[in-house]
Every structure is written in C-alpha cells, then in structure tokens.
Structure 1
Amino acid sequence: MNSLHWSRYREQGFFIGIRFLFWLHHRLGPIAFKIAVYPVVFCYYLKNRSGRRATHQYLRFFAERYPREKIKADWITGFRIFLNFANSAREKLEAWFVGIPASQVNFPERAFLHQLASSGQGGVLIGSHLGNLEVCRALGSLTDVRVNVLVHTKHAKKFNRMMQMLNPKSQVRLIQVTEVTPTLAMQLSEAVDDGELVVIVGDRTPVNSQGRTCEAQFFGRPAPFPQGPYILAALLKCPVYTLFCLRSADGYDIYMEKLCDRVQMKRGDRESHIRELVADFAARLEYYCRLAPLQWYNFYPFWNQQA
C-alpha cells in the first residue's frame, strides 16, 4: 500500500520542541538541553504515529537483512533514533554558526578535496539523511572550498543572510530548488568550473510529481531514488562523489568516495548509466547505514511513497 510522499509529512510539532530545546541551550547551557531533550523527544515520539511506524519499518528491514547486528525493531530503538536526531539538530547549529573543530573531524580525503578544488575542477557530492550532513556542508570551513548546497527549504535566502551576519567567513551558500532549470544549471556549471562543490541529497524523491525516479534495491527491497542528482551531474560534466558523515565517540567521520568521473547519457538508453549509479549509491547508503544504524533520519515510509 502506497503512502504519502515525504514532502507531505509535517514535522512542525517536532521543530517547535527543537526550538524550545535550542532556547534552553542558549539560555541555560548544554546541561539543560541534555536534561530536557528526553521528555521533549519522548512526547513527540508518542505523538508522531506515522514517523514511529516508518522508523520501525526501517528497523525491521535492517534486522531481517543483518540479523548478526542484533538491532531490534522495538519502541526503545525507535526512540533512540528520534533522540539522536534531536541531538543532531543541535550539532547542525554548531556546524553552521560556530564551526566544528578540525580535531573532532576525521576526514581522510580532506587534502584530496582541497587539491581537487585548487585544480579548478569542482564536483557534485551526493549526500543523504543518514548521520549529520550539515557537518559535511561545513566543508568550506575545513578546506576553504566554496560549497553550494541545494535544498528544498523556502527560506534559503534568509538563511544565507543570517549566515553572513553570524559567520562572514562562511563558504556555504544555500540554493532553494524544486527542479533543475537551465538558469540554475548554468550558474552551477560556472561554479563547478571555478572549483566549487555542489552538494545534493540522493535519498529524497522530487517534490513535484514530474521529477524522475527509479528503483534500486535497499535492504533487500526496491525503494524509489531520485534521478535528479545524476542528471544535474551530467549537465555539469564533472566528477560525482558520495558523501556521508557519521557521529562517532570522538566526533565525526566523513566518508567521500568517487561514484564516477562523468555521468554518461547515451542515445537510445539515456537512463541506463543513471540506473547503475542509483544502484551504486543505494548500496553505499546501505553500507553506511550498517555502520551507524541508529543515525537514519527519514521519518516517513521510505520504501512505499507516492506524490
């Protein structure tokens, strides 16, 4: 049975709670945040029936696929995912406005990324809602590389102005987008030619019903993935990389891997290469989910959704 598209799920109640937690953190410090986060998230966890079911579905598929990991599809494990998400929201603000100390970031490919940008060749980085992508978006402060982040939020311009006020040295620019237009493609092409990076998520299907998707195996079941990131990369004629950031006991582990040098769009079967890349991305996403199973933050039925 199909479920609603991810963009039609409303998380307003959760973000009201998150705003309250941020206020506590700002006024009373991190200890107040850590104490209050449990009851706030628990109340939302009980209230958000659809998000709870979606999380349990993911945990069930994970447990069936990897029984040796001993991940239980119960309410306690589901609550832990919600709790991790609330804590990651606090870390997002730190990543954007304060910055993450380099000592807390394990990023082996940092030198390569800097070399790539210095050579005048940028690229497309495909991330996800696993872990904390906002730390990856702070790559600009880690490598002095300009980062363009494609987002669905309608407040991108306001956020950019706020970023400049709070952190004038920020190398991150948010671009609100629902579809890739010729004008946007031209702007991003110029950015990539100047050695800049374009970050886009690869685990959210298009907001509009006309966006292209294709299915790939994910935890042993077909799931819809967007074609947009790969079509964009084909237009930009640049390398494509996967990008994941997982929370660890010591800080953050950033993983960057090359997916392909160029996306090839062949006549007669223009989507064949894209289908292969989507399958490769889904496989890597599953691999990193296995490394951090409780950092999966898609609170909607991922495997069965419709616009």
Structure 2
Amino acid sequence: MKAPVFSVNYSGESASLPRHWSEHKEQAVGYWQVRLLLLLFRLLPVYFLRFLAFPVGFFYYIFSKKGRDESRRYLKKVAAFKRGDKKPPRSPLRHILAFSITLVEKVESWGGKFFLDRVHFHDDDIRDLKNRLESGEGAFLICSHLGNAELLRALAGFNRTGVSREIPVTSVMEGSVTAHFNRMLRELNPQSEIRTVDARNFGPDTAVLLQDRLAAGELVVIAGDRTSINTRNKHFLFPFLGEAAPFAYGPFFLAALLNAPVYFVFALRRKDLSLKSEYDMLVRKSTVSFDGPRKEREDRIRELARNFAATLEEYCKKYPYQWYNFYDFWAKPEDHTGV
C-alpha cells in the first residue's frame, strides 16, 4: 500500500487501538524516582551524575527489551537514508546512553547549572525570535522529543536567553506528565517563571489565558511529535522516515487559534555521548500565516503540521541518536487508505 502524503482522521475511538505512548511504563517517571534524582543532584557533583548516566543507561539497555526493540525500529528507518555513511546509526546502546545523559542534563538545566556559554546559536531565525522578545512581543514555540527541549525553557526560567528582560514560559503538556514535572520544578527552582497548562482540560478560558500571556510578551511551548492521550484518532498522517506516521492535530490547531508567530525549536547536543555537553540551538520560523480567510484555516493547520514533520525528519537524520520516543511511533489507530 502506498504511503499517503497526508490524511486526517476524526473518527471515534476503536477497541483495538495499539498501545498509546502514554501507556508504556518506560514513558512514565514516578514521583519517588524524580525525588531520588533530585537528591542525587543535590549530593553529587554534576560531573559524577553524568558519569553515572552510562551504567544506568547500560542497565536499561540490558533489562528493557522493549527499549531495545523500539530503538532498533527507529534506527533501522534512519539508516535506510544514510547508506553511504561509514557508520550508519544502528546501535540501540548508543541511543539509550544518549537518552540517559539527556535526563541528567534536564535536571542540570532546571537546577540552574547549565549556562548560556554551552549553547551555540546560529545564523537562522533565532535573530528574529530574539528581536521579537526584545520588543516585548510573545511567540509560540513547537518543540519535540529530539534533543533536549527543556533546555530553552530552563534558560528562560533563569533569564539566560540573551534577551535583556525576563521571559515567562507556559508549557502545554499532557496531564499525566504535568504533575511530576511541576513538582520537580518547585524542588529545583521555586522562583521559576515556567508554568504548565494541562492539555486534557483545555477550553475557551485556557485559550484566552494563553492569548493574554502571548500579548504580554511571554512564550507558549508545546511538543508536536506525540499524539494526544484523549483524542488519539484526531491526527494527521505524514511520511516520516520512509513510512506514514501520525502527528497530533492539537498543537497546530492551537497555533492557529492563538494566531501568533510560530517557531520550531530544537536543542541538539554536538556530541551524542559527552561528559561535558555543548548544544546547538536551532530555530526555524514558520512561514504559515493564519491571517487569511477562516475557510482556509484547516489547510493552513495541515501545512504547518506537515512542515514540522519534515523539519523533524531532517534533524532526525542529522542527529539520529537524540530522538527519544521509545515506542512504536508509526503505529496507527486504524487502517488509512490515504489520498
């Protein structure tokens, strides 16, 4: 069957749905695991925690068949596009070790120990974003599970963005993640300007709240590479690494609803495995505008989502070991005949 260019499904839930990403145990981190990580962060030097990430990642690799299998599934797809490389990406161990290091760096950044001199900006749309923030205007950021999305949010929380004013950030997250995330933030940085909104309880009041925050010059951030827990069948289907994959409708609909400039943001480690990491911060401004006729809005939402999927695919090929979705990303709730 030919992979479709895109399709959208608005049908009801099916009893035979494949397991959603939120249902995998390895995606959920309990409060006590978070507390243990915070305790180690306070007691041990960051350098030691980075070193500890290697045996922890190796332990996960040995005892998690699911993690190994899903890593192989993904890396096999990436390797098909890199057949000319001397070392195509085929190592689940390297993939999982890179993920372990990123977990430490997330805590490190929220603890205020990751500084701007280790983040490298480029001659891309970062200038446009900085100019917008300097002028007191807000922006809508779409990130992913490629690299370390927490890095930019944490830098903003500690006023380390290179912008001369404080920039509060609101993250739109699934409720299953929000509780532990909020607790961790309060533990690490009680004065953090990061706030979270539960995507499961999103309504008209929430939209007005986010519009007010954008108008006040703040950032609103959401991930675009995981489908919604509540509306799993409401998604686009785009080619991704050689096979059609579902991309959530919600983040891109929200971008249209808020009608603010949209930027795709990726924080990617220069070396997959490093005890002292440095990151490239890559920013692309979307050219999709929602100022046109309302009847064209759905087409523009689809275009924005398709552009995000293509950009994510591009960077996955360049940084294959830094995409951390350890589940079957290509699983589809129903058969799609495509268009």
TM range, smaller chain: 0.7 to 0.9
Match for residue 198 of structure 2?
176
Contact 1:148-1:175 within 8 A present in 2 as well: yes
Q: How does 1:94-243 map to 2 (within 5 A)?
A: 94-108=108-122, 111-140=127-156, 141=159, 142=161, 143=163, 144-154=166-176, 156=178, 159-160=181-182, 163=185, 166-178=188-200, 180-209=202-231, 212-243=234-265
Contact 1:124-1:233 within 8 A present in 2 as well: yes
Deviates more, 1:135-144 or 1:12-21: 12-21
What stretches of structure 2 of length at least 5 have no aligned partner? 1-15, 272-276, 335-339
Aligned partners of 1:28 and 1:45: how far apart in 2? Answer: 24
Q: What amino acid maps onto 2:221 in structure 1?
A: V
Match for residue 275 of structure 1?
302
Aligned partners of 1:78 and 1:17: how far apart in 2? Answer: 24
Residue 246 (str. 1) matches residue 268 (str. 2): yes
TM-superposition CA deviations, 1:53-82 (whole Å, max 9, x none): 1111111011112212345464xx111111
Instruction: Give the root-mean-square deviation of aligned CA atoms.
Output: 3.0
Using a 3 Å threshold, how does the CA distance of structure 1 residues 225 and 266 change in structure 2: closer, same or farther? farther
Match for residue 316 of structure 2?
289
Q: Which is bigger in relative contact order (C-alpha 8 A, separation at least 6)?
A: 2
Deviates more, 1:164-173 or 1:133-142: 164-173
TM-superposition CA deviations, 1:38-62 (whole Å, max 9, x none): 3332222232222221111111011
**Which structure is higher in helix share?**
1
Deviates more, 1:157-166 or 1:199-208: 157-166
Aligned partners of 2:68 and 2:184: how far apart in 1? Answer: 33
Matched residues, percent identical?
37
Q: What amino acid maps onto 2:284 in structure 1?
A: E
Aligned partners of 1:183 and 1:19: how far apart in 2? Answer: 33
Match for residue 33 of structure 1?
49
Q: 1:7 aligns with which of 16, 22, 33?
A: 22
Residue 260 (str. 1) matches residue 287 (str. 2): yes
Aligned partners of 1:3 and 1:211: how far apart in 2? Answer: 11
Contact 1:124-1:198 within 8 A present in 2 as well: yes
Contact 1:22-1:33 within 8 A present in 2 as well: no
Using a 3 Å threshold, how does the CA distance of structure 1 residues 172 and 139 change in structure 2: closer, same or farther? same
Contact 1:151-1:176 within 8 A present in 2 as well: yes
CA displacement at 1:112 relative to structure 2:
3.4
Q: 1:91 aligns with which of 105, 111, 118?
A: 105
Q: What amino acid maps onto 2:97 in structure 1?
A: L
Q: 2:75 aligns with which of 35, 43, 59?
A: 59
SS across alignment from 2:94: helix
- The count of residues paired between Structure 1 and Structure 2 equals 305
